[in-house]
Structure 1
Amino acid sequence: MTFGTLALVVALGLIGPLLALPKRLHMPVLLGELAAGVVFGTTGLRILDPSDPIFVFLADMGFALVMFAAGTHVPVRDPRVRGALGIGAARAALVGVVAAVAGWSVAQAFGLGNGAVYAVLMASSSAAMALPIIDSMRLTGPPVLALTAQVAIADTACIVALPLVIDPGNAGRAAIGAVVVALCAGVMFLVLRYLVRTGAQRQVHEVSEDRKFTLELRVSLVLVFALCGVASEMHVSIMLGGFAAGLAVAGVGEPRRVAKQVFAISDGLLAPLFFVWLGARLDLRELGEHPRFILLGLALGAGAVLVHWSARLLGQPLAYGTLAAAQIGVPVAAVTVGSQLGVLVPGEGSAIMLATLCTIAVAALAAGRLASATPAVDSEKT
């Protein structure tokens, strides 16, 4: 990758905010970034080379920070959310059971052997998508608290489950890796909490703010990249490392100043670069060569929304269920790992990403409905 290419990628990242400018559309920024990558990548003009090692490494950094930000958005310290864990867990479990049946059914219908992978994809929720939407729209009330708990539980469970089902032969290794990452995140949380309670964190904050050292930001980056390094060494996705680091930081409370600094690095450069790379990596030409995978993508996308609608049986409004169906991290990891292991047949990865785009688009529509509703968005009548 050259500086010229990097400038192009950063410029393409601007398309996301430009397309998201009309507030009434409530279009996620990443849709424009993905679309730009598709046009300039493998599917379109082929100007961007998604296999470039530097491009791949920068994209991995962006993915790690996207998942880190998703973890920090989980309000684990909010007692109201802890109170909603029961209904959130019940809804996530119900969706998981329905997804297991739907995943098997889709695999049988298309004559493919990845029913377990499809089930995890359909059951997954994206904290990286849903929680920022909730924050930006300032949604409040019991339905939002339950949705937050549900998304956090489903996202965590599916992040852990994916490596187990996509590579059953190494499920034991993947399980051990997930446990090691979780233990490291737990140690990280305990150390951070100790520093907060002893006042050391406050002293560092004051020195950093006075001397403009940005020490807390540097420490945060060390933590997330270190945990991603552990995940890589244990042969599990950096998605798990980034998300676990975010949860550890959320557990002690991320200072607003640090949150803004991380946001600047992530959303200002690395996250758009990741989504442009992801779009460039997609080969939608495969869908033209294998038309049935278009149907597979639509089936997976529709299936994800429908299985999340099953939470209506436990009182969740359909609009919130649709928002919970939005996916990004788990499908990306499934396509990346599945392609590396040769688990996916040609066209299957593109179908999974098509399904992902469908869930994001439908979730954006649901977000628009919630935004245009009356101020009482916390009502179960939404």
Structure 2
Amino acid sequence: MESLLHVVQQPIVPFAILLAVILTVPPLFERLRLPGLVGLLAAGVILGPNALKILDTKQPTMELLSDIGLVYLMFVAGLEVDMEQFRKTKYRSAGFGTFTFIVPLIFGTTVGRVFGFDWNASILIGSLFASHTLLAYPIVSRLGVVGNEAVTVTIGATIFTDIGALLVLAVCIAIHKGEFSLTSLFTLLGMLIAYSAIVLFGFDWAGRQFFRRTGDDQGNQFLFVLLAVFLAALGAELIGVEKIVGAFLAGLAVNDAIGEGPVKEKVIFVGSVLFIPVFFVDMGLLIDIPGFLKSLSSIWLTLAIVFGLITSKFLAAFFASLIYRYNKQEMLTMWSLSMPQVAATLAATLVGYRAGILSEGVLNSVLVLMLVTATLGPLITSKVATGLRVQETLVEPVKPKSEIESEITIDNKLSSRFTIVVPVRNPQTERFLIEIAAILAKHEGGRILPLAIPQAHAQMDASELDQALKRNQILLNRAMEMSRELGVEAEPILRIDDAVPQGISRASRENNANLIVMGWSNRASFRARLFGNVIDGVLWASHCPVAITRLLDSPSKIGRILVPMENFTNQAVRLIRFAKILADANQAQITLLNVCDRRTSDTKIAWTTSQMNLLAEKWMPDINTDIKVVANDDIVKAVLIASQLSDLVVLRSERQRTAGGLAMSNITTEIVQQLHCSFVLLGEPQKNYREVVSY
């Protein structure tokens, strides 16, 4: 009995319980169509001191992991700010950022004063209103409307609102500690400015230098990023401000250095599956539901905070739309994007609560606010952002068809022939890969480059390398035989490299490839997400588009092709043109599918149908085409039903993005995991490379 009691008291026990909660609870709630973070909060309530008393916020394990989660949450919030989008509209972003900071700050401060809080606490409540989390970014990305100016401005405004809210938090904490005077205020602001400059410019320079010198050493790069965030957090505390300020600035600082690469994906993954969920469980431990329900004033406070936040964000978007002349749809999109209160709001609330400035009623109210806005914001975005005009929309095309067709991936002068690189590793899928590459190459009058990469490492002896070379040479010989049989020109490449993904990317770049055709592998496993796989590595590093294929039968037998589409941009054109090439080769039928909400008006459905007909007439005049607009709230289910009558589904592969470190579901991933037919995923190249596909 004593030994059992000794084991139960070990710090590892709460950690094991937390892992079990994180592993099982979010998927269960998502099956019930509830956000996973709601499950984490609920688990905290049930396991906390107000229920089963299994976990407590004062346990050393909880304190450590929750603090790391708090820092990580703000770091990821800074890391995921799209600096490239921000630079495009920085002045208008500053304007909207000012509106969506000042107006909610006034509303929140007023709510605080009405409910009897002092000026310091009231202003801090106002600052909680001021920030926002881009929880609906994956939705506007999937809809292809990120290029709309109103969306870009809202994304850029995140920097101003979050920094402003964190500065207010720092001043309020200093006032609460009795350290406030005009001299101390100016001293604090001066130290903040100097500290921010050191972090933003110093860490950015150090990151660029370190990443340049370490090349492909992702392990050390990952550790560098972690070191940067915790050094910045400690530095913030040294100058007398909260560590979450330093964490957010560190995220902004290493943003450009880390880029959109596998290291960023791993950093976010570690946070989203471990530390940030622990933070939400810890927040749940603080919730006293019985006490909250007994207090009538707390309920009124909650209603005032929720109503005040939603109203103030709407007014901020309305004022910005008047000044910048955005239409109603753009104004509503700005409102819905700036409504969710998750990352900075929760972090600042917890800091204020621990410091004794905010009451338990405010803490509970902010948690309710988070749940309401995290649900309502993305829901409204999905309704109002559909059909937003962007620069490349086909309704008013910026580029004529002839110009799109003539452009080549990097530099047309460097490569006059369409080139497709086909990495060959699996003998069982090699035949179909060569076949589909041959169809594309014939259509463009180009060539294919079968690529085999024997992987070498430091501990590898000569005999192992010889065996690897022989195996890969056999694959290349088979690829050449198939190419001759199919009547397409092929040039084999045998390349020794220490990493297969980098080898594929380097060979493609050296040969000015226009397309990479690869086989599919499971990307959903824990190991693949943590360490990455070949597909991930190529997608992150490729300078040209990547076609990821899972072919259950020969491409020559494809008779019915399904192309789901949500928008009518040039990205949609690429999917259509890819499908057209396969349809030309096999006299196949193409079905263009759009899934809309059940509440979509008949006028909107008619407009969508007409746009899809225009696409078909313009890009597939000689193809047997079927246009379908299906009203269904479940996009995945609608696509899967349509795929039952298809031999191949052509989808767009999107770069995974989280919102404030919270893992967001990817509709494309859900679809491919359940498809029972062949599919092709067209992946986008790196942002740094100009990319227009010629096929």
SS in 2 for 1:170: coil
Do structure 1's residue 146 and structure 2's residue 156 form an aligned pair?
Answer: no
Residues 1:204 and 2:219 are matched in the alignment: no
1:218 aligns with 2:223: yes
C-alpha separation in 2, matches of 1:5 and 1:181: 36
1:229 matched residue in structure 2: 234
Matched residue, 1:341: 355
Q: Which amino acid aligns with 2:162?
A: D
Residue among 362, 369, 374 paired with 1:360: 374
Deviations along 1:16-36, one digit per CA (max 9) or x if unpaired, are 2442357xx5x5432322222
What is the CA distance between 1:217 and its match in structure 2?
A: 0.4
Post-superposition offset of 1:162: 1.7
Query: Does residue 247 of the first structure (1) align with residue 252 of the second (2)?
Result: yes
Aligned to 2:14: 5
What pairs with 1:140-219 in structure 2 (closer than 5 Å)? 140-142=146-148, 143-168=150-175, 169-170=178-179, 172=185, 174-176=188-190, 178-185=192-199, 186-193=201-208, 195=209, 201-206=211-216, 208=217, 214-219=219-224
Flag the 1:21–1:155 CA change in 2: closer, same or farther, 3 A: farther
Root-mean-square deviation (Å) = 2.9
Q: Distance in 2 between matches of 1:65 and 1:317?
A: 32
One-letter identity of the residue aligned with 2:307 = A
Report the AA paired with residue 81 of structure 2.
V
Superposition TM-score, scaled by structure 1 size: 0.84
Q: Which amino acid aligns with 2:114?
A: A
Q: Distance in 2 between matches of 1:352 and 1:177?
A: 30
1:137 CA drift (Å): 6.4
- Which residue does 1:101 correspond to in 2? 106
Could you tell me the percent identity over the aligned residues?
Answer: 25
Residue in structure 1 matched with residue 300 of structure 2 by the alignment: 295
Encode CA deviations 1:250-284: one digit per residue, 9 max, x unaligned.
13343512012212311121111111112122233
What is the alpha-carbon distance in structure 1 between the residues aligned to residue 568 and residue 346 of structure 2?
31
Structure 1, unpaired ranges of 5+:
none
- The worse-fitting range, judged by mean Cα deviation, of 109-118 and 177-186 is 177-186
- Structure 1 counterpart of 2:147, which letter? G
> Which digits, 9 at most, give the CA deviation of each residue in 1:154-194, with x for residues without a partner?
1121122222135434352653553354133121112223x
Which residue number in structure 2 is paired with residue 48 of structure 1? Answer: 55
Query: In the alignment, does 2:90 pair up with 1:85?
Result: yes
What SS class does the counterpart of residue 45 from structure 1 fall into?
coil
Corresponding residue pairs, total: 363
State the match for 1:322 in structure 2: 336
Amino acid at match of 1:323: L
- Distance in 2 (CA, whole Å) between partners of 1:70 and 1:348 is 23
Distance 1:162 1:133, change over 3 A: farther
Of Structure 1 and Structure 2, which has the larger fraction of its residues in helix?
A: 1
Q: Which amino acid aligns with 1:268?
A: V
Deviation at 1:47, TM superposition (A): 1.8
Task: Give the Cα separation in 1 of the matches to 2:36 and 2:143.
Answer: 15
- 1:261-300 → structure 2 map (5 Å cutoff): 261-300=266-305
* CA deviation map 1:313-350 (0-9, x unaligned): 32242243123121123333443333333223453332
Shift of 1:119: 1.6
1:221 Cα deviation after fit: 0.7
What TM-score do the two structures reach when normalised by structure 2? 0.48
Q: Which residue of 2 aligns with 1:313?
A: 319
Mapped partners of 1:164, 1:270: distance in 2: 27
Q: In the superposition, relative to structure 1, how do residues 178 and 39 fare at CA in structure 2: closer, same or farther (>3 Å)?
A: farther
Unmatched 5+ residue regions in structure 2? 1-9, 322-329, 389-565, 570-603, 605-695
Amino acid of the residue matched to residue 321 of structure 1? W
Distance 1:174 1:125 in 2: 25
| Match runs of 1:9-48 below 5 Å | 9-14=18-23, 15-20=25-30, 28-48=35-55
| Post-superposition offset of 1:368 | 4.2
Q: Is the 8 A contact 1:162 1:330 kept in 2?
A: no
Structure 2 vs 1, CA of residues 167 and 242 (structure 1 numbering), >3 Å: closer, same or farther?
same
Q: Distance in 1 between matches of 2:382 and 2:376?
A: 10
8 A Cα contact 2:11 2:60, kept in partner? no
Structure with more strand by fraction: 2
Check conservation: 1:74, 1:131, Cα contact below 8 A.
no
Q: What is the CA–CA distance in structure 2 between the aligned matches of 1:335 and 1:2, rounded to whole Å?
A: 27
Asked if the contact 1:370/1:377 (under 8 Å) is kept, the reply is: no
Cα distance in 1 for partners of 2:335, 2:16 equals: 39
Once residues 269 and 278 of structure 2 are traced to their aligned partners in structure 1, the CA distance between those partners, rounded to angstroms, is 13
How far does the alpha carbon of each residue in 1:49-100 deviate from its partner, in whole angstroms, 9 at most, with x for none?
1111221111111222222222111121x1x432222222212212333224
Structure 1 residue 223 displacement after superposition: 0.7
Change (3 A) 1:81 1:108: closer
Secondary structure at the counterpart of residue 336 of structure 2: helix
Preserved contact between residue 63 and residue 271 of structure 1 (Cα < 8 Å): yes
| Contact 1:325/1:363 (8 A) holds in 2 | yes
Answer yes or no: is the 8 Å Cα contact 1:72–1:254 preserved in 2: no
SS at match of 1:20: helix
Per-residue deviation, residues 106-146 of structure 1 (Å, max 9, x unmatched)? 1232222232122211111125x455665576652223211
Letter in 1 for 2:206: V
CA distance in 1, matches of 2:278, 2:143: 25
Residues 261 and 108 of structure 1, relative CA distance in 2, 3 Å threshold = closer
Give the direction of change, closer, same or farther, for the CA distance of 1:220–1:108 in structure 2 (3 Å limit).
Answer: closer
The one-letter amino acid paired with 1:344 is: L
Give the residue type in structure 2 aligned to 1:219.
F
User: 1:286 & 1:12 partners in 2: Cα distance?
Assistant: 25
